[in-house]
Amino acid sequence: MATIVETLTDYALPLRFEHLPPDVVHQAKRLLIDTLGCAIGGFGGEPSVVARALAESVSSRQPATVLGTGRETSPDLATFANGVMIRYLDFNDGYTSQESGHPSDAIAAVLSPAEIVHGDGRSVITATVLAYEVFCRLCDAVSVRARGFDHVTHGVVASTAGAAKAMGLSRAQTIQALNMSVAANSALYQTRIGDVSLWKGCAFANASRNAVFAAMLAAQGLTGPSPIFEGPGGFFNAVSRGPFALAPFGGDRDEALRAGVLARSRATRAGGEGEGQRLRRGESPSARGHAERGRARDRRGRARHRHRSVSPRPLEESHDRRGDRSQVPRAGR
């Protein structure tokens, strides 16, 4: 049976822009516009100023650009500064499931890696969709908050997948980047509660920075421990306190065919198990499945009207608000 890292990698590697349905491409553009707007709006925030000062004190022979100033730094520090600016206003999109967070935070880990390899717009769209798929399926699979871990523990996996994709890493390099990222980035939930500090706006940016760092190390041949989810000292035992399986990714044709749902039911589920998971247990596609798909379409329609459109709010913990689900792109072919 494939490990979680192998499952993620074998979805990530073959994914091509040409596989994405037009509505997914369009939604990815909407999210990139929204996310860059949030970054520009967050430019003057206190942690943004700190992150830029640190980033711009470094020069690199493989430079990436800090948003807003146009100055160059190392790819990992550009990712951190850009990620802080994306998140500072807490005005970017949200995804609520078993675990919750802001999937667009991972876009910072796509932009700088894409920039250093002179990637085109299509590669950015594809890597963004991939990062969303990974983050949202992990959030659907398991909550880590109740065990004291922060959602950026999922975020680093999404950011690593996005960075590796944007850089064009091989299968072996992507696996090692994921192994390193998961081994090194179990972050604590105290970030969101108690004396909430400026770090709240930086935690996912830090995960994205570390994701880019891991991808760059993997590109140079460094390896990470495995099996990082399933091993005795891995994620299942240490973080999630139990094993989990990932629901089929958008456009995962074989899984979708087995589940009898194909690409037309690419809607986001409201948590709980998916059709594919029931199928793997030997249950047949059912009336329940049809009803669930109908509800999913309804939710998708409603979600279009719920995408955040309010003014920037003071920083506050908002992940328990069930009604704040934005529509996220699902890959398909």
Partner 1 sequence: MTDGEIEAKFRGLAGDLLPAQTDALLERLWNLDQVKDIGEVIKMVRRS
182 touches partner 1 by CB under 8 A:
no
Give yes or no for a cis peptide into 227 (omega within 30° of 0).
yes
Q: Does 32 interact with partner 1 (rule: CB under 8 A)?
A: yes
Q: Is 51 in the site for partner 1 (CB under 8 A)?
A: no
| Residues 125-164 contacting partner 1, CB under 8 A | 125
Residue 16 interacts with partner 1 (CB under 8 A): yes or no? no
Residue tagged 């074989």 (tokens): 254
| Nearer residue to partner 1 within complex by CB, 144 or 328 | 328
Site for partner 1 in 259-318 (CB under 8 A): 304-305, 307-309
Supply the minimum distance, in Å, between the C-beta of residue 181 and partner 1.
22
**Of 123, 191, 268, 277, which one interacts with partner 1 (CB under 8 A)?**
123
State the Cα–Cα distance between residues 21 and 26, nearest whole angstrom. Answer: 9
- Interaction between residue 53 and partner 1 (CB under 8 A): no
Work out the number of other CB atoms within 10 angstroms of the CB of residue 323. Answer: 8
120 or 317: whose CB is closer to partner 1? 120
Instruction: Please state, in angstroms and rounded to a whole number, the distance separating the CA atoms of residues 126 and 162.
Output: 9
Looking at 109-117, 185-193, 195-203, 264-272, which segment touches partner 1 (CB under 8 A)? 109-117
Single out the residue of 127, 123, 133, 215 nearest to residue 175, CA to CA: 215
User: ∠ CA 11-13-16 to the nearest 5 degrees?
Assistant: 90
Return the bridge partners of 95, or none: 101
Q: Does 49 bind partner 1 (CB under 8 A)?
A: no
64 vs 158 by CB, closer to partner 1? 64
Q: Rounded to an integer, what distance in angstroms lies between the CA atom of residue 107 and that of residue 129?
A: 10
Sequence-separated (6 or more) residues with CB below 8 Å from residue 1 = none
Helix (H), strand (E) at residue 64: strand 64-65
Among 14, 23, 122, 264, contact with partner 1 (rule: CB under 8 A): 122
CB-CB neighbours of 290 under 10 Å: 14
Contact pick of 6, 37, 143, 227 for partner 1 (by CB under 8 A): 37
Interaction between residue 333 and partner 1 (CB under 8 A): no
Contact 208, 159 (CB under 8 A): yes
To partner 1, the closest distance from the beta carbon of 311 in angstroms equals: 9
φ/ψ of 72, rounded to 5, equals -105, 150
| Min CB(82)–partner 1 separation in Å | 9
Strand partners, 72: 65
| Interface region with partner 1, contact rule CB under 8 A, candidates 31-39, 50-58, 137-145, 187-195 | 31-39
Q: Is 188 helix (H, G, I), strand (E, B) or coil?
A: strand
Binding residues for partner 1, per CB under 8 A? 17, 25, 29-30, 32-34, 36-41, 43, 65, 67-70, 89, 91, 111, 114-115, 118-125, 304-305, 307-309
